[in-house]
Amino acid sequence: MSARHWRALLVVLMMTGVLFAVRPLSSRLAPETLFLHSDKIAHVLYFGLLWLLARRAGWRAAWPLAIGLLGYGVLIEVAQALTPTDRSASLSDVVADAVGVALAWWYERRSVRSIGQPEEDRR
């Protein structure tokens, strides 16, 4: 896929994330309530995926990307606080977002370093 396709996928995923975040929690089977801390795990995975997609889309500056993704996470929490549903803002969700970004960043750096090493050093 080209960088343009990755960017389009990233935008669609971010828009879907906003819609998903502000919807009412009407079901006991919502992903946020499947098991203890399932919401935090979803935040970690979602923001890690956003990081990886943004990098595939051509975003090279790591710190601005990390700050931008965390800003997006804060905006989602503000949107949840402002919706007239049973949603509320959570600092722990933003922390989970940051963990997702940090893990994806670490994974990416580790993968890039291991590619450049000789075969016997990869173990």
- State pTM to two decimals: 0.82
Count of domains for the chain: 1
Averages of pLDDT over runs of 10 residues in the chain (123 residues) are 92 92 71 73 95 93 95 94 84 96 93 58 41
Q: What is the DSSP letter of 118?
A: -
Which whole-number Å values give the CA distances from 70 to 29, 77, 106, in the listed order? 27, 11, 16
pLDDT of res. 123: 42
Residue 18, classed as helix, strand or coil, is helix
pLDDT of res. 87: 80
> Is residue 43 within 8 Å of residue 91, measured between CB atoms?
no
pLDDT of res. 70: 97
Closest among 77, 73, 72, 71 to 90, alpha carbons compared = 77
Whole-angstrom distance, CA of residue 52 vs CA of residue 45: 11
> Is residue 25 within 8 Å of residue 85, measured between CB atoms?
yes
pLDDT of res. 72: 97
* Domain around 41: 3-121
